[in-house]
A and B are shown apart, each in its own frame.
Chain A
Amino acid sequence: MKAAAFAYARATSVVNALELLAAHGDRAKVLSGGQSLMPAMNLRLLSPDILVDIGGLAELRGIAVRGNVLVVGALTRHVDMLRSPEIALHAPLLRDAVAHVAHPAIRNRGTIGGSLAHADPASELPPCVVALDATVVIRGPAGERRIAATEFFKGIYETALSPDELLVAIELPVAGQGSTFFFQEYARRHGDYAIVGLAARAVVAVGGFTDLRLGFFAVGDRPLLAAAAGKLVNASVTPALLAEAATALADELDPQEDQQATAAMRRHLAAVLLRRCVAALLARPELEAGAAT
């Protein structure tokens, strides 16, 4: 398990990184935290000719609030998000999610940019940025472009990024009044990728939802912003309505079968998560049990 030989370049600036990517095309790979890329290279699943290491680019680091927007640089490490007061205040969903990502040693190196660019369908951060209605900021040879997180993920390990582009930052709307969040996943061991998970943002007023974004993950080839959530918004949530939403959710899911779970099990767990999420966000425990049968 040794990586095949490769060349290595440490980018000196974003511009320099983009030049290197332009020069080598899809024979190059961006190296960020290396926590997904290096294992794949050691298993010789990937053998890039050259690595473009962006680890030294200070311009890609940092968490800042600009007006109503929270900007998180691509090189922000998982551990930085876990500890950041800005994240805790404005996007606590990310903090809750990151606590489920791997283990401390990996969180000390892995980055949000790497995680989103890697686009593992069982990964925690992609559904968060979808649920939070984030914007992905991308730089390429033609300059900067912005794309909605909901449009960014294209499939298993596939995104809207092309090989000559860099993900530079994520922009998140800061949490407004009445915003509440829910994050839960089912994994056999702490730190494992989820069997099924849910990252949700809601606005709750007078006992009901005025907004609800449900980002399911590990239920398809990319994070799913469930349309079924619409049934629960501006409505009186009853066990019957919740059951109706669960049925609608089942139609949206396209789960894969793997060693951990059949498709049927994933559908079942997604429905359980939906009930538990709604019950938790509305602080109505009876909703969780009510639809249990």
Chain B
Amino acid sequence: MTETRATDTLSVLDRPNSYIGKTVPRPNLDRLLQGRGQYVSDLEMPRMAHVVFLRSPHAHAKIVMIDADAAKRMSGVISIVTGRELEAVITPWVGVLSHLKGLKSAPQHAIAVDRVCWQGEAVAAIVATSRAAAEDAMEHIAVEYEELEAVTDMCTALDPATPVIHASLGDNLAFERTLDAGDVDRALSESDVVEADFVFGRHTGVTLEPRAVVADWNAAEARLTIYQGTQAPHMVQNIAALHLGLREAQVRVVCKDVGGSFGIKVHIYADEMATYALSKLLRRPVKFVADRVESFNTDIHARDHRCRGRIGVRPDGTITAFEIDDLTGIGPYSMYPRTSAIEANQVVNLVGGPYVTPNYRARARVVFQNKNVMCQYRAVGHPIACSVTEGLVDLAAARIGMDPVEIRRRNLIADDAYPCASPSGMRFEQLSHHASLAKLLQMMDYDALRAEQAALRARNVHRGIGIASFIEVTNPSAAFYGVGGAKISSQDGVAVRLDAQGSVICQTSITEQGQGSESLTAQIVGSVLGVSMERVRVILGDTDNTPYGGGTWASRGAGIGGEAALQAAKALRRNILDVAAAILQSTPAGLDIVNNSIVNADDGTPRIELNELARIVYFRPDTLPPGIQAELIATRHFVPRQYPFAFTNGIQASWLEVDVETGFVTLLKHWVVEDCGTIINPQLVDEQIRGGVVQGLGAALFEKCIYDERGQLTNANMADYLVPMSGEMPDIEIGHVVSPTQESELGAKGAGEAGTAGAAAAVANAVNDALRPFGAIITEIPLTPQVILTALGRI
């Protein structure tokens, strides 16, 4: 690791026996490995009913009539509910945010009323004693549809001849943003200009455990308990209460173990809202677990973008300008409550971000179409922005005959230029592009690899090297959602308490879906307090039992929730030392906590064990000096205020081979250097990077939701939708540069999306590098054999 900034004083993180920076096993491993995870899909409750949704087979149609009489009489059926009937219990919503100016959408219902707008939208709910019984009954519901013309091609969605999906909106344009910084026209007129159309396949984040919810309306308490695999329990609480006409205090959201999320589970889905409403309507627990076909048809999709990009370059390698025109189709509604304009907005924010040129012009348009909804999935917008930027940089380098590394070296923002801002107004506190590039070249032995490539090319073996620098948005402040009016908290809270035997209970508002939130919280609290990690129990995912906060998404858990944990632990430590000083007739400054004991600060001599201190406080407070009231619990909250986002950066490289006869790509090796500031647990960070890279490689080579021209998703199953699998994955080597943020004492930025941000760009650049002798350039992903053979003119 390279420290880019020296820390002058020892922080609370450098205390003796600190867990910070150490690979310690996750505290929840044994529980999960012994099958004691608490997943909502496994949850059983007395009187629990199962709901299955009858879903539209059409992309766009009027619902003329629903006949459920026969189905209602079938055994096991409890109720069959249509959108009209459910309307009485739950109100519709509109997915807009005020800071995304001009963003519009239409009211969306929990179950379609009168009209369906995508294949897979729920038309009726069948509630029965088991899922199988509900599926049996579903086959006996007759729905008469009148098919309407479906808008499927985003390129023609705005044409006057194309029908408007929501008449009340006037057109199919959901959102448009333009940006013009510097003097692009002048810069381009004085440069070589290269341009290309970048095409991205619509794909999704396939979670191992599908979306799952059990809603339990307790009429006696007038309270709804929602057990759900979600990333943001307090957001779910707020939205459920709002649309069911309840106060937030009447809704409790419990979120224990979650089988994968990746941003898929950070939204409010219509079928989940319907499940809450059904529980209220039927006064009993109702369970909904999406099956795999439903997951493909209703879990948000992402990345369906076409982006025309231009870059200006001078013969000396100076990049003079970037220009993009991005178009994306988001389905019939803007998703609730985070909206479906964020990805396009991010693309505008991020293109060109690693580079110094001040000249940047962008337009992004977001259009409606009759396909499944699109919204935020891991690394929102980053893979698009990175692929466009890095693709253009490579094209520029090729145009002037410069090595891809050299052009980056000449244009990346210098490591000593911070703080600074990008042409789109993104503010960077401290990035490390050049240190990262240097580290990457050394890890991959770039020159040797180039030599190997040349030697193999002579033997008709075609390998390529692709490089991609990136920046990543992490630790978002209220600038992300709060300012736009969404009740999605950007702050997080942690409460830390010493129990009567000197162990620690820690309640945090961040959530755990496998990232290691439990682990990093325990590491921080244990380190700061001087308590061993086994003595720290972390409670998360329960709106009744944790402080209020945002949850885990947008690479924010460690940076924001971690800082709250640090501050809470510091406060508790002070409280403990105050009592200890009273007991030991010392001063708080003269004492410390090390290894679960109060010790002398100067020589480390043990004075009293924490369990003894707790015993006195809780059972013999009569022995404490008068006026001393111990407070062995402390709560702190944190939210970034100085910077809207804590930007991180990094660089990736791919080494691969293209079989030019078959179009198949073999990934040979992948490298990542990234800078997430303070590393709390190297293994957790590396796991995040690797997992993220794999999802990026999935986008690069495999994953695509294939729609036909009538809006039918034709590969909604695990056989035809290709998720990346281990057999095709290369070894992924990871290096770090560390530039802590000064905004928090912890110094941690996010690491959850860095891998996904740049992987596809690196692969695409490597494929083009391999194909250089053939003059073929591909700016489309996924890079399927069909695409590659076509580009090579083989078929």
Q: Which of B131, B720, B725, B786 is the one whose CB lies under 8 Å from A265?
A: B786
Q: Does B248 sit at the interface, judged by CB under 8 A?
A: no
Of the listed stretches A66-74, A226-234, A254-262, chain B binds: A254-262
The distance in angstroms between the C-alpha atoms of A74 and B795, with both chains bound, is: 40
Q: Is the CB of A272 within 8 A of B136?
A: no
A289-B706 contact in complex given A190-B725, A260-B786, A272-B661, C-beta closer than 8 Å:
no
Q: Is the interface of A mostly helix, strand, loop or mixed?
A: loop
Contact yes or no, B785 A2, CB < 8 A: no
Interface string of B766-795 (1 = CB under 8 A from A): 000000000000000000111001000011
Q: Which residues on the A side are within 8 Å of B11 (C-beta)?
A: none
Interface size class of A (residues with CB under 8 A): 20 to 34
Q: Determine how close the nearest CB of chain B comes to the CB of A69; give it in whole angstroms.
A: 35
In the complex, B728 has a CB within 8 A of chain A: yes
B715 interface contact, C-beta 8 A: yes
Q: Out of A191, A192, A264, name the residue touching B795 (CB < 8 Å).
A: A264
Enumerate chain B residues within 8 angstroms of A83, measured Cβ to Cβ: none
B314 to chain A, nearest CB (A): 39
Q: Is B627 an interface residue (CB 8 A)?
A: no
What residues of A have a CB within 8 angstroms of the CB of B795 in the complex? 262, 264-265, 268
| A2-B132, A272-B662 known; A259 vs B706 contact (CB < 8 Å) | yes
Q: Which of B708-730 contact A (CB under 8 A)?
A: 714-715, 717, 719-720, 722, 725, 727-728
Q: Smallest CB-CB separation from A272: which chain B residue?
A: B661
**Bound Cα distance A195, B728 (Å):** 16
Query: B146 on the interface (CB 8 Å rule)?
Result: no
- Known A-B contacts A186-B662, A190-B728; the reply to A1 vs B293 at CB < 8 A is yes
Tell me the bound Cα distance from A1 to B52 in angstroms: 10
If A1-B293, A268-B795 touch, whether A188 touches B785 (CB-CB below 8 Å) is yes
How far apart sit A264 and B663, CA to CA, in the bound complex (Å)?
13
Contact between B662 and A259 (Cβ–Cβ < 8 Å)?
Answer: no
- Min Cβ gap A175→B in Å is 29
Query: Does B144 belong to the interface (CB within 8 Å)?
Result: no
List residues of chain A with CB within 8 A of the CB of B131. Answer: 2
Contact: B293 with A259, CB < 8 Å?
no
**A269: B residues at CB distance < 8 A:** 662
Other-chain residue from B139, B291, B727, B789 in contact with A1 (beta carbon distance below 8 A): B291
Residues 181-194 of chain A, each 1 if its beta carbon lies under 8 Å from chain B, else 0: 00000101111110
B780 CB → nearest A CB, Å: 16
Q: Mark A41-52, 1 if CB is under 8 A from B, else 0.
A: 001100000000
Q: Is the CB of A142 closer than 8 A to any CB of chain B?
A: no
Residues of A within 8 A of B727 (CB): 189-191
A43 to B135, CA, bound (A): 11
Assess the B784–A188 pair: CB atoms within 8 A: yes
In contact, B728 and A268 (Cβ under 8 angstroms): no
In angstroms, Cα B41 to Cα A1, docked, is 14
A268 to B794, Cβ gap below 8 A? yes
Is A259 in contact with B728, judged by CB distance below 8 angstroms? no
A206 at the interface (CB under 8 A from B): no
The CA of A44 and the CA of B291, in the complex, are separated in Å by: 13
A121 and B719 alpha carbons, distance in the complex (Å): 15
Q: How far is the CA of A292 from the CA of B660 in the complex (A)?
A: 10
Give the shortest distance, in Å, between A253 (CB) and chain B (any CB): 14
Instruction: Name the CB-closest residue of B to A187.
Output: B664
CB-nearest residue of chain B to A47: B139
Minimum CB–CB distance for B713 against chain A, Å: 11
Interface residues of B in 115-164 (CB under 8 A from A): 130-132, 135-136, 139
With contacts A195-B785, A289-B460 taken as known, whether A259 is within 8 angstroms of B714 at the C-beta atoms is yes
| B136 and A4 contact, CB distance less than 8 A | yes
- Residue contact B728 to A189, C-beta cutoff 8 Å: yes
Is B292 located at the chain interface by the 8 A CB criterion? Answer: yes
Q: How many Å lie between the Cα of A191 and that of B726 in the bound state?
A: 11
Q: Does B702 contact A (CB under 8 A)?
A: yes
B792 to chain A, nearest CB (A): 10
Identity of the chain A residue whose Cβ is nearest the Cβ of B790 in the assembled complex: A265
Whether A189 contacts B291 in the complex (CB less than 8 A), given A269-B662, A272-B662, comes out as no
- Give the Cβ gap from A63 to chain B, nearest Cβ, in Å: 28
Q: State whether A262 and B784 are in contact (beta carbons under 8 Å apart), knowing that A188-B722, A191-B727 are contacts in the complex.
A: no
A223 to B720, CA, bound (A): 21
Chain A 1-19 interface residues, beta-carbon cutoff 8 Å to B: 1-5
The residues of A that contact B784 with a CB separation of less than 8 Å are: 188, 260
Bound-complex Cα distance A50 to B536 (A): 55
**Assuming A5-B136, A189-B702, A268-B794, is B715 touching A259 (CB within 8 A)?**
yes
Q: List 16 A-B contacts (CB under 8 A).
A: A1-B135, A1-B291, A4-B136, A4-B139, A5-B132, A5-B136, A186-B662, A186-B785, A188-B784, A190-B727, A195-B785, A261-B785, A261-B786, A268-B794, A268-B795, A269-B662
Residues of A within 8 A of B (CB): 1-5, 43-44, 186, 188-193, 195, 259-262, 264-265, 268-269, 272, 289, 292
List 5 A-B pairs, minimum CB-CB distance, nearest first: A190-B727, A2-B132, A1-B291, A264-B795, A272-B661
